[in-house]
């Protein structure tokens, strides 16, 4: 993996990770700044557009975090930069109110991109009723689908929009789009789920997800001795969005072909049991083994012990160190280290803990981790810190 760190105008940091010369993870983390938001967001997206254009990339997943009240300003900067530098506007994207932990209005951007036509790579747009919902791509003879910015809010008269109704509708919408494009929900290997006011209804959300996953055919045997439970890796975190919907979701699906040498496996942690054993239908991590590289999608990880209990209550130092220890144990089983992280998201319940977080990652020599850090409630009241990530290792 080729990794490059770029500093730009002191307002933000660009992390650029190339995997096998044709897969790119691009992360922009905004720094504390005093410049105007429009100037900063314009500079960020001009830089992104320049990277995309210079390397002949096609964006397949784009997600950015900022305050909802600044959504239109950031979107305008994005559209102007792409129009000027690329000549088109690579939709879709997901905008989540990830409140910045530092003194900014815009936390950062996360992008995954592909070099089309490299070793027969292909990229296409997933559309339904003339609307763009995601990107598909074929790499190493394997087809991938990203569907993003999905929610279950309905403007149709007579449809109800309680949180649980929106959630069930969201899952149904995703399943329909997958079915229409040669896939199905059980092909999903990774989900990113953002819930408005998560602490008020996370248990209700889990009940709906469990119900839908039974319908979709996932193996949800609760027997602790059964190690064959296969569920997507997932991040479930607080995050509102400009539409005002209760949920927003991105998914990654892999269309399996029995003739293609690819392995998709659930990873388990010695330090944490499967989340499904305490009500949450996701796995600790998913490993995708391709001929040229291995990708590990690590779920949102927090300070939860092997019995499913939160530990180091109210102790931000203890929770960050415990979480990083769990994260490291999980990836080290694959011969990976923190230095192999291609992209990560850090969540702090209290933005006042940001300086503590920075101090600890310096101890772990992770100052250059390609991460966006946002303030958000985590799925339990007593949890103060969470991190998710993607690791790619070339063979």
pLDDT at 306: 85
What percent of the chain stands above pLDDT 90?
66
Q: What is the average pLDDT value for the chain, to the nearest integer? A: 89
Gyration radius (Cα) of the chain, Å:
20
pLDDT one-digit tens code per residue, 194-234: 999 999 999 999 999 999 998 998 876 654 444 454 799 99
What are residue 82's phi and psi, to 5 degrees? Answer: -70, -40
Distances from the Cα of 330 to the Cα of 98, 189, 326, angstroms: 26, 17, 6
pLDDT at 225: 42
Q: Give the SS3 label for residue 295.
A: strand
pLDDT at 292: 78
- Contact (CB, 8 A) for 37 and 100: no
b or e along 223-261 (b: 16 or more beta carbons within 10 Å of the residue's beta carbon)?
A: eeeeeebebbbbbbbbbbbbeebbbbbbbbbbbeeeeee
- Contact (CB, 8 A) for 219 and 284: no
Q: Give the SS3 label for residue 111.
A: strand
pLDDT at 277: 67
More confident residue, 328 or 222: 328
pLDDT one-digit tens code per residue, 131-172: 899 999 998 888 999 999 999 998 888 788 999 999 999 999
- Contact (CB, 8 A) for 132 and 125: yes
Which of the four pLDDT bands, split at 50, 70 and 90, describes residue 180?
very high
pLDDT one-digit tens code per residue, 76-130: 999 999 887 676 665 789 999 988 988 788 999 999 999 998 888 899 999 988 8
Q: Residue 253 above 90 pLDDT?
A: yes
């Amino acid at each position: 993996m080729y990794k490059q760190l770029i500093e730009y105008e002191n307002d933000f940091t660009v992390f650029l990770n190339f995997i096998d010369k044709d897969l790119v993870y691009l992360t922009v983390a905004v720094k504390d700044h005093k410049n105007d938001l429009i100037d900063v967001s314009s500079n960020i997206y001009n830089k992104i557009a320049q990277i995309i254009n210079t390397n002949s990339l096609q964006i397949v997943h784009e997600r950015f975090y900022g305050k909802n009240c600044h959504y239109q300003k950031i979107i305008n900067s994005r559209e102007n930069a792409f129009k000027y530098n690329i000549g088109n506007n690579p939709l879709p994207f997901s905008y989540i109110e990830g409140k910045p932990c530092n003194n900014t209005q815009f936390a950062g951007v996360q992008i995954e991109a592909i070099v089309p036509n490299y070793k027969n790579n292909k990229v296409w747009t997933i559309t339904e009723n003339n609307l763009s919902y995601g990107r598909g791509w074929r790499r190493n003879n394997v087809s991938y689908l990203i569907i993003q910015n999905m929610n279950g809010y309905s403007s149709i008269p007579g449809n109800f929009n309680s949180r649980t109704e929106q959630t069930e509708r969201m899952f149904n919408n995703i399943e329909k789009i997958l079915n229409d494009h040669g896939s199905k929900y059980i092909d999903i290997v990774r989900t990113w789920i953002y819930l408005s006011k998560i602490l008020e209804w996370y248990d209700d959300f889990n009940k709906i997800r469990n119900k839908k996953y039974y319908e979709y055919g996932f193996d949800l045997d609760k027997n602790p001795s059964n190690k064959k439970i296969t569920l997507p890796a997932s991040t479930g975190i607080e995050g509102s969005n400009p539409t005002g919907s209760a949920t927003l979701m991105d998914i990654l699906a892999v269309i399996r072909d029995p003739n293609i040498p690819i392995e998709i496996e659930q990873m388990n942690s010695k330090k944490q049991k499967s989340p499904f054993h305490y009500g949450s239908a996701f796995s600790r991590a998913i490993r995708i083994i391709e001929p040229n590289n291995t990708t590990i999608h690590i779920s949102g990880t927090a300070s939860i012990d092997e019995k499913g209990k939160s530990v180091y209550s109210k102790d931000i130092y203890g929770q960050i160190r415990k979480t990083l220890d769990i994260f490291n144990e999980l990836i080290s089983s694959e011969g990976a280290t923190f230095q192999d992280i291609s992209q990560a998201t850090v969540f702090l319940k209290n933005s006042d803990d940001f300086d503590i977080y920075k101090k600890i990652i310096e101890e772990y020599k992770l100052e250059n981790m390609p991460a966006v850090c946002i303030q958000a409630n985590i799925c339990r009241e007593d949890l103060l810190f969470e991190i998710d990530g993607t690791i790619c290792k070339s063979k």
